[in-house]
A and B are shown apart, each in its own frame.
Chain A
């Protein structure tokens, strides 16, 4: 079993929809949680970074962490075709600098 599980998709939604992307993890030592976006032929870029349970909002993006359930989510409001990309969750265990990634969810937003 992988430490971080993420549905690979693809997830296809119409423009304007609310998108929910999720990851589950098994290691309770994970303390820091991130979401990256990766466009085709590019490296991942950081979208959101959080270390506590609860919600963190940045524009159309909301990151949610539930440490008791070992579950994190990324919500995208008013999705746009430019949001079409692969979204990767990533986590850092306590006392290390190692970044552990999920396999990524491919999102397609159609006009």
Chain B
């Protein structure tokens, strides 16, 4: 069974640009969550999508947005990039809810210059 895949693995952007990250969940998983990981703040929850609808949201500004497609694949977009957005962005999938194990992808390392 293939795991969670994320593309691209590495990305370098400059301030003010926008970026789109992609996540393909494990087959059969309908929930996809996104996290930002930085050395200072650790893993912080961005949002969760379930059946193409945002089900939960963390405390991030509106520059961070996401969507989920009918095949459960998800994308995350960050507009007007800031230096502080440099981080590892992790996607995780699970079948439905908190009773199911959440599986993480390897992450996309975003560097903003």
State the A residues within 8 Å of B (CB).
6, 32, 36, 41-46, 49, 88, 90, 92, 96-104
Complex interface residues of chain B between 35 and 54 (CB less than 8 A to chain A):
35, 41-45, 48
Complex interface residues of chain B between 61 and 113 (CB less than 8 A to chain A):
90, 92, 97-98, 101-107
Range for the number of chain B residues in contact with chain A: 20 to 34
Indicate if the CB atoms of B104 and A43 lie closer than 8 Å: yes
Indicate if the CB atoms of A98 and B101 lie closer than 8 Å: no
The docked-state distance in angstroms from the alpha carbon of A45 to that of B92 is 10
Indicate if the CB atoms of A99 and B104 lie closer than 8 Å: no
Partner of B43, one of A41, A42, A46, A88: A88
Interface core residue of A42, A44, A45, A97 (most chain B CB under 10 Å): A97
* Chain B residue with the shortest CB-CB distance to A104: B42
The docked-state distance in angstroms from the alpha carbon of A104 to that of B101 is 19
The docked-state distance in angstroms from the alpha carbon of A104 to that of B33 is 19
**B15 at the A interface (CB under 8 A):** no
